[in-house]
Amino acid sequence: MAVLLQILDAHKSYGEQVLLDGAEATLSEDVKVGFIGRNGAGKSTLLKILLDEEELDRGEVIRHPNLRVGYLRQHDPFEPGESALDFLMRDSGQPDWKCGEVAGEFELKGAYLEGPVKELSGGWQTRVKLAALLLHEPNLLLLDEPTNFLDLRTQILLEHFLRNYREACLIVSHDRAFLNATCSHTLDLDRGILTLYPGKVDAYLEKVAEERDRVVRANAAIVAKQKQLQRFIDKNRANANTASQARSKAKQLERLQTEEIEADEPTAFIRTPVVEPRRGPAVRCQNLSIGYPDHTVATGIDVEIEHGERAAIVGDNGQGKTTFLRTIVNSLAPVSGEVKWGYGCNIGTYAQHVYTTLPPNETVQGYLDYHALPGTSMQSILKVAGAMLFKGAAVKKKISVLSGGERARLCMAGILLNEHNILILDEPGNHLDVDTIEALATALLDYKGTVIFTSHDRHFMSRIATSVIEVRDGKVTNYGGDYNAYLYAVNREIDEGERARHATSKAAPGLPKTLTPRAPVRDERMVRKELSKNEKLIARLDKEKNEFNAQLLKETDPQEAMRLHEEVTRLTEELAAAEERWCELQEELESAS
């Protein structure tokens, strides 16, 4: 398999923080790699190095001369009044039919394709950026948290595309469900070292856990053996008859060494409020309409959520999930109808915007002291702070210097210090690393109160949701099944849409065929003669490519590997051209016969 990029003896530090410590990895063509690691491990820094936006302190990155890197842009590249189709044509230089073809992979059509792109929601704008990225035909895609803020349907569309995408990908994500669905290999950055595993992320994490358990068991056996030998030595070394045996056992003891187990990185420990279980409806919406003075989002809402439920609010971006949550917690007045909460409901709210509006000059300890129940001891406050990784001097930090992840954990800690029996969580996983999200999911499974939440993390949703409420097309309805059933239904809907689109494209060939005039029909004998030559050429090129690939797999010299890769690239291009010509000859043969 041809090598696109090699990282050799890479070192990178910021002050005392070591991100890369002799890290090495090789990325090959056609391989999709899920890139994992804790927050702050250095994943984004490594991507910047691969994009030539930062330099290594020491080491090198060897790139193939024909490497074409595609990177999903986070900034807004659109011009005022420009449609998505106009942008795609301007950005890629491709004709409208080609832009429309790629845009169709992400269901960009009609007003979404031809209307002002700046008026689209963030999720739809991301679809436009992905289409633009692919129109440049990169052979290595770099995607940094591509599922953040994407609705479920966009995530699934991206999954479907990546599964069929024939080029290499390096995808940074905390979403294990997304990585398992799209990536065949896993790259882990831990304590400055890169580990490339030829398998999916779940299999890799299971292997890491099994290896750690193996070392723990082996160490326990070695320690037991060491104690046994030491007892024999202590008992027999002073005895002339057994002293030689004691010396032999001492040498054996010296050879017994335990394997070092690196200490785990600190992980948040989340404890939800201890509340009494309740029965009956927690909240009831009756003939409710939600929205704003100039725009109604949804009408006729009759939804009831029972005490003890963990209700997932789902729907595409821009459909009104957050509007619905804001309405039921009275931060937004209903357009009409009413929201009724049950007696004794104590509501705690965690919203996307909360941690961006925290008092900047307040300290971590001061914020938690203010939000704790009256009479809460400072020891209890510091215990919750420590569980959310604010330990020692960290509790004296001002909020103004906290990262997004730290602010999110601080807001969560403030909620946990109260006695809420209703938790409203709007995208609780954003800005939290995978371990903290896992800790939150585990805590919510033990929580005896009611949870109403939104999330883009399917692993998180499938773990904790007991019911699903969908906001779609101006309606809010209880789906009536669990999250996995809802996920299956959405996948089936998208599959049917893709089949219908592909069937339409086959039944009515697109613009490119009408733009390319067909060659005059030749004699059938001449066509068969060229077809025979073409088939021999394909066989020869395929054999040569396989031979070079076999050599490349065994090659250890980077320069020779690059030369072999160039040969494989050349043969791949020639083979693709020959196969395309074979298809043309087959069509011509059908026309001639």
pLDDT tens profile 347-396: 988 876 666 678 889 999 999 998 888 888 888 888 888 888 888 888 89
What is the pLDDT at residue 265?
A: 58
pLDDT tens profile 70-129: 887 666 788 888 999 999 999 989 998 999 988 988 888 888 899 998 888 777 888 898
pLDDT for 537 beyond 60: yes
Residue 298, helix vs strand vs coil: strand
Which of the pair, 83 or 38, is modelled with greater confidence?
Answer: 83
Question: How much of the chain exceeds pLDDT 90, in percent?
Answer: 25
What is the pLDDT at residue 310?
A: 94
DSSP label at 473? T
pLDDT for 473 beyond 60: yes
Which of the four pLDDT bands, split at 50, 70 and 90, describes residue 591?
low
What is the pLDDT at residue 520?
A: 44
pLDDT tens profile 571-582: 777 877 777 777
What is the pLDDT at residue 73?
A: 67
Q: Phi/psi class of residue 18: alpha, beta or left (left: φ > 0; alpha: ψ in -120 to 50)?
A: beta
Question: Phi, psi at residue 482, to the nearest 5°?
Answer: -85, 180
Q: What is the mean pLDDT of residues 5-16?
A: 90
Q: 457: closest CA among 45, 180, 119, 132?
A: 180
Q: What is the mean pLDDT of residues 461-472?
A: 91
Which of the pair, 529 or 428, is modelled with greater confidence?
Answer: 428
pLDDT for 293 beyond 80: yes
Angle in degrees, 0-180, between the axes of helices 152-164 and 483-507, rounded to the nearest 10: 60
Tokens of 274: 């201890």
pLDDT for 249 beyond 50: yes
8 Å CB contact between 131 and 87: no
Q: Which residues fall within 8 angstroms of residue 70, CB to CB, at 6 or more apart?
A: 133, 134, 136, 138, 140, 141, 142
What is the pLDDT at residue 501?
A: 58
Tokens of 113: 């394709």
Half-sphere exposure of 563 (CA within 13 A, CB side): 6
Q: What is the mean pLDDT of residues 457-468?
A: 88
Q: What is the mean pLDDT of residues 18-41?
A: 88
What is the pLDDT at residue 400?
A: 86
Which of the pair, 504 or 230, is modelled with greater confidence?
Answer: 230
Which of the four pLDDT bands, split at 50, 70 and 90, describes residue 511?
very low
Q: For the beta carbon of residue 397, count every other beta carbon within 10 angstroms.
A: 15
What is the pLDDT at residue 307?
A: 94
What is the pLDDT at residue 42?
A: 85
Pairwise CA distance, residues 428 & 457, whole Å:
10
Q: Which residues fall within 8 angstroms of residue 285, CB to CB, at 6 or more apart?
A: 301, 302, 303, 304, 328, 337, 338, 339, 340, 476
Which of the pair, 113 or 261, is modelled with greater confidence?
Answer: 113
Q: 106: closest CA among 79, 89, 126?
A: 126
What is the pLDDT at residue 538?
A: 80
pLDDT for 562 beyond 90: no
Give me the CATH code for the 3-200 domain, please: 3.40.50.300
What is the pLDDT at residue 266?
A: 60
pLDDT for 469 beyond 60: yes
Residue identified by tokens 């074409």 is 68
Pairwise CA distance, residues 591 & 445, whole Å:
65
Residue 204, helix vs strand vs coil: helix
Per-residue CA distances from 401 to 363, 405, 436 (Å): 10, 12, 20
What is the pLDDT at residue 149?
A: 66
Alpha helix ranges (H) inside 306-377:
321-328, 364-371
Fold of the CATH domain 281-481: Rossmann fold (3.40.50)
Pairwise CA distance, residues 12 & 373, whole Å:
45
What is the pLDDT at residue 515?
A: 33
Which of the four pLDDT bands, split at 50, 70 and 90, describes residue 174?
confident
DSSP label at 240? T
